[in-house]
Amino acid sequence: MTPTRTFRADRGDVRTRRLDLALVRHLNDLPDVSRARVQAWIEAGQVRVNGVAASRPAARVGLDDSVEVALPPPKPQPPGPAAEERALSILYEDEHLLAVDKPAGIIVHPTRGHPEGTLLNALLWRAREWVGEGERPSLVSRLDRETSGLLLVAKTQAVHGGLARTLRGPNARKEYLAVVYGRTPAAKGRVELKILCDPEDRTRRITSKDEGQASVTLWERLAEADGPLTLLRCRLMTGRTHQIRVHLESQGLPIVGDPVYGEPRWKGIADADRAAACRDFPRQALHAWHLAFVHPVTRQPLEIFAPPPADLQGLLDATGLAGGAA
């Protein structure tokens, strides 16, 4: 049965004088109702005024005219992501939230090109026992596909909001490990450059002093090795797409293995084993390592670490940087 909507024109409609505008105003609770769509309904004979099919969108609506609309059926919604039985590395869990250690190579959210095999698919499977009706787990932070490490998951929407606010606050610590080419000019530093999309490639980001989103990254040198190579601890003060990668590249410190912002500087490393380790590392050497924040429900401080995965640990061992991540 075709759903219908009936109303009587009021003085507000008389002032607009047009049938299409009156319909847009009365149907503002429906999604995707635009003037163009209403005009198409009128032209298709789906709108009747006082029982007679309207023929023109610009027809005048009189005071107390009865307008009936035969609404088209709603478009079918695509199914949500499916729960998939996949292993998860859980670093912390309570009744409100959990922290997972995401491997490199795993996409966080399903996309059109990757509807399956994502972290969210695995979380939906795990959440079968603890989500309530209308609820589902939601990721509070995200990582690039080839970045490994710690991600927070809220078990309810209410907790998601509290976690998001907490992580945006100045007292939360979000720290990453990064292996970069080059030496730093000091033991610690700060990159405060705005970030915006590259106009020539919308998948890339570039830095600017004047344009884009305000972004701040703090870094600290943990270890150095001949190459030159450096292990950095980076703290995000803002959370922009590719922030650490593009900020370090802007400082002449590209991350080893980064396919977008990196450089093949392994060619200049004299030690053959270190050069090979950098050359063969299959992804950006970036790992979400540490989170410290106040629990949004219990109000207790919480600190979580994700140890370096096997591939990153192997790179640290091969390059002589392992002591810095101890």
Confidence of residue 180 (pLDDT cuts 50, 70, 90): very high
Q: What is the pLDDT of residue 169?
A: 85
- The class (CATH top level) of 170-326 is alpha beta
How far apart, in whole angstroms, are the C-alpha atoms of residue 144 and residue 147? 5
| pLDDT at 205 exceeding the cut of 80 | yes
Q: Look at the chain and count its residues.
A: 326
DSSP 24-41: HHHTTTSTT--HHHHHHH
The pLDDT-based confidence of 17 (bands split at 50, 70, 90) is low
Catalytic residue (choose from 20, 65, 144, 311):
144
Close Cβ partners of 182 (under 8 Å, ≥ 6 residues apart)? 228, 229, 230, 252, 253, 254, 265
To the question of domain 4-70 being in CATH 3.10.290.10, the answer is: yes
Query: Using CA atoms, how far apart are residues 148 and 119, in angstroms rounded to an integer?
Result: 12
Q: Tens of pLDDT along 207-242?
A: 999 999 999 999 999 999 998 999 999 999 998 999
pLDDT confidence of 16, banded at 50, 70, 90?
A: low
3 state DSSP class of 79: coil
- Tell me whether strands 201-208 and 52-53 are parallel, antiparallel or unpaired: unpaired
Give the pLDDT of residue 120.
Answer: 92
Q: Where are the beta strands (DSSP E) in 78-165?
A: 90-93, 97-102, 138-139, 148-154
- State yes or no: pLDDT of 252 exceeds 90: yes
Most confident option among 60-69, 164-173, 210-219: 210-219
Amino acid identity at 43: E
Give residue 326's pLDDT band: very low, low, confident or very high (50, 70, 90): low
Is the pLDDT score of 15 beyond 60?
A: no
Cβ atoms of 27 and 42 within 8 Å: the answer is no
Q: Where are the alpha helices (DSSP H) in 93-242?
A: 119-126, 157-168
Q: Say how many C-beta atoms besides its own lie within 10 A of residue 15's C-beta.
A: 10
Whole-angstrom Cα distance, residue 264 to residue 281?
Answer: 11
Q: Bridge partners of 221?
A: 232
- Is 311 one of the annotated active-site residues of the chain? no
pLDDT of 260 > 70? The answer is: yes
Phi, psi of 179 (to 5 degrees): -100, 120
Compute the mean pLDDT over every residue in the chain, rounded to the nearest whole number: 89
Domain with CATH 3.10.290.10 in the chain: 4-70
Residue 293's pLDDT band, with cuts at 50, 70 and 90, is very high
Strand duo 148-154 + 286-294: pairing? parallel
What pLDDT, on a 0 to 100 scale, did the predictor assign at position 13? Answer: 61
Angle between helices 35-43 and 19-26 (to 10 degrees): 120
Question: 2: closest CA among 71, 66, 54?
Answer: 71
Residues of the chain with CATH 3.30.2350.10: 78-168, 170-326
In this structure, of 13-22, 136-145, 245-254, 289-298, the range with the lowest mean pLDDT score is 13-22
Nearest to 69 by CA among 4, 1, 3: 4
- In CATH, the architecture of 78-168 is 2-Layer Sandwich (3.30)
pLDDT tens digits for range 105-162 = 999 988 877 888 899 999 999 888 776 666 788 899 889 999 999 999 999 888 888 8
Rounded distance between C-alpha atoms, residue 128 and residue 308, angstroms: 29
Task: Please give the C-alpha separations between residue 183 and each of 101, 146, 226, 235, in angstroms, as whole numbers.
Answer: 29, 24, 10, 18
**Cα Rg of the chain (Å, integer):** 27
Tokens of 35: 């003037």
Residue 180 and residue 261: Cα distance in Å, rounded?
11
pLDDT at 86 over 60: yes
The mean pLDDT of 175-204, rounded to a whole number, is 95
